[in-house]
């Protein structure tokens, strides 16, 4: 950390740029140009935060160097040296924290990081057992989101008679929602003895998860002539009708073939609004997937490939083990994780992404 020449060179560039901007802003000719002055003021504000943090870091290093000399020379009394060592340990911990924060300034930030999201969970191979595990994942994500102070809203679901979910679509709203959940896209595999298995054999089932940043109207324009809207009676587990009114809505986007259905609300208007919300997110995701497919270097800088057919995690019940295959993380606390204790997994993935981006910068 203390010998990272590139790190210090980049912050020297920030300081030089900051000083240049301040000189420009003090020039009467520049001050007279309102739009140009405002642009410089905005850039100055962005640089000021990182420069102040960098200066705090340098002061910490000076103080650490001073205390290390005292300890190394050991001319003081042992009681005093013990206090110095304690302070030194605290300063080094603070130094590491600030260094990590400063590294963030060198990383290109994800423009979707703070967006609300729409999550889609679908049962894959494994029949009823896959549907039951889809319900487990829905509960896991709901508990984790609530623990993080985020709001969850169910948009559409397709339940089974045994309490599973063939499909569930829901939104998670709040600052940092996408940043926390974006790594969940992919195939989640479960290994356990299903409740439907009489012989006690372990089965392997799979569930797919998609995480879509929620799109604003300005992000995606939907031409009314491009969509077909069908209404019908909503149905419940096993396909039986649960509503005699035509409240369920199916929207088909003709140019892409994307189909969205919503039936959880009793109101056709509410279901239509939710369906449009999901359609807009899918269209934005569709456009981003096409763009990313053309930028292979971006793909290589991600955790995994970003392909939703990629197996990303295994939940093994006999061993109480959860393994994330992208970063080789294994945790032996499957019960806690399925109850929403995802922080170790999420922080591990975020740290791996940060390191990849830093390596790419270097």
pLDDT confidence tier of residue 293, bands split at 50, 70 and 90: low
- Residue 152 contacts residue 142 (beta carbons within 8 Å): yes
Quote the DSSP letter at residue 214. Answer: P
Q: What is the mean pLDDT of residues 312-326?
A: 96
Q: Give me the half-sphere count of Cα atoms (radius 13 Å) on the Cβ side of residue 271.
A: 24
**Cα–Cα distance for residue pair 172/182, rounded to 1 Å:** 12
**Cα–Cα distance for residue pair 106/118, rounded to 1 Å:** 29
- For residues 263 and 154, the model is more confident at 154
pLDDT at 234: 67
Q: What is the mean pLDDT of residues 70-74?
A: 83
Contact residues for 66 (Cβ-Cβ < 8 A; gap 6+): none
Q: What is the mean pLDDT of residues 345-356?
A: 90
Q: Report angle CA 104, 108, 109 to the nearest 5 degrees.
A: 80
H-helix segments, the chain: 5-25, 28-31, 34-73, 78-105, 128-147, 177-181, 268-293, 296-300, 334-338, 343-361
Question: Would strands 321-324 and 329-331 be described as parallel, antiparallel, or unpaired?
Answer: antiparallel
In this predicted structure, which of 1-5, 110-114, 333-337, 349-353 has the lowest mean pLDDT? 1-5
- Whole-angstrom distance between the N-terminal and C-terminal Cα of the chain? 14
Residue 305 has pLDDT above 80, yes or no: no
Sheet strands side by side (includes 227-232): 227-232, 248-253, 258-262
pLDDT at 178: 92
pLDDT at 103: 81
Residue 108 has pLDDT above 80, yes or no: no
Residue 219 has pLDDT above 80, yes or no: no
Residue 241 has pLDDT above 70, yes or no: no
Residue 161 has pLDDT above 50, yes or no: yes
Q: How large a percentage of the chain has pLDDT more than 70?
A: 87
pLDDT tens, 114-144? 789 999 999 998 889 999 999 999 999 999 9
- For residues 135 and 175, the model is more confident at 135
**CATH code, residues 5-105:** 1.20.58
Bridge partners of 123, per DSSP, are 207
pLDDT at 190: 95
Mean of per-residue pLDDT scores for the chain: 85
pLDDT at 92: 93
- For residues 1 and 250, the model is more confident at 250
Cα distances from 315 to residues 116, 140, 330, in angstroms, run: 27, 13, 10
pLDDT at 223: 84
State the Rg of the chain over Cα. Answer: 26
pLDDT at 204: 92
Which sequence spans correspond to the domains of the chain? Answer: 5-105, 117-357
**Cα–Cα distance for residue pair 7/362, rounded to 1 Å:** 9
Q: How large a percentage of the chain has pLDDT more than 90?
A: 42
The H or E element that residue 165 is part of is: strand 165-173
**CATH code, residues 117-357:** 3.30.70.1660
- For residues 233 and 207, the model is more confident at 207
- For residues 263 and 240, the model is more confident at 263
Residue 307 has pLDDT above 70, yes or no: no
**Cα dihedral across residues 151, 139, 176, 341: positive or negative:** positive
């Amino acid at each position: 950390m203390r010998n990272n020449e590139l790190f210090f060179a980049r912050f020297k560039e920030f300081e030089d740029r900051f000083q240049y901007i301040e000189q420009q802003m003090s020039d009467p000719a520049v001050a007279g140009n309102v739009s140009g002055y405002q642009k410089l003021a905005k850039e100055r504000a962005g640089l000021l935060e990182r420069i102040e943090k960098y200066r705090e870091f340098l002061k910490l290093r000076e103080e650490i160097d001073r205390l290390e000399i005292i300890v190394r020379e050991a001319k003081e009394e042992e009681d005093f040296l013990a206090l110095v060592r304690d302070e030194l340990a605290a300063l080094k911990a603070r130094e590491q924290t600030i260094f990590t924060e400063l590294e963030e300034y060198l990383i290109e930030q994800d423009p979707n990081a703070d967006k609300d999201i729409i999550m889609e969970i679908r049962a894959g191979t494994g029949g009823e057992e896959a549907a039951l595990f889809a319900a487990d994942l829905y509960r896991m994500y709901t508990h984790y989101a609530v623990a993080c102070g985020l709001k969850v809203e169910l948009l559409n679901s397709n339940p089974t008679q045994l309490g599973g979910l063939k499909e569930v679509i829901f939104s998670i709203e709040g600052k940092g929602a996408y940043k926390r959940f974006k790594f969940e896209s992919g195939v989640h595999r479960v290994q356990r003895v299903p409740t439907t298995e009489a012989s006690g054999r372990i089965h392997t089932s799979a569930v797919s998860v998609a995480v879509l940043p929620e799109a604003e109207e300005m992000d995606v324009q939907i031409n009314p002539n491009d969509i077909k809207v069908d209404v019908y009676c909503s149905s419940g587990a096993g396909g039986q009708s649960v509503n005699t009114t035509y409240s369920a809505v199916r929207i088909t986007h003709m140019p892409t073939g994307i189909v969205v259905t919503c039936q959880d609300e009793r109101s056709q208007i509410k279901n239509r609004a939710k369906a449009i919300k999901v359609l807009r997110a899918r269209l934005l995701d569709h456009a981003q997937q096409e763009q990313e497919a053309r930028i292979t270097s971006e793909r290589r800088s991600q955790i995994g490939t970003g392909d939703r057919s990629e197996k990303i995690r295994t939940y093994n019940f006999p061993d109480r083990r959860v393994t994330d295959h992208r970063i080789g993380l294994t945790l032996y606390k499957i019960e806690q994780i399925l109850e929403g204790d995802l922080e170790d997994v999420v922080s591990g993935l975020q740290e791996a992404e940060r390191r990849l981006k830093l390596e790419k910068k270097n």
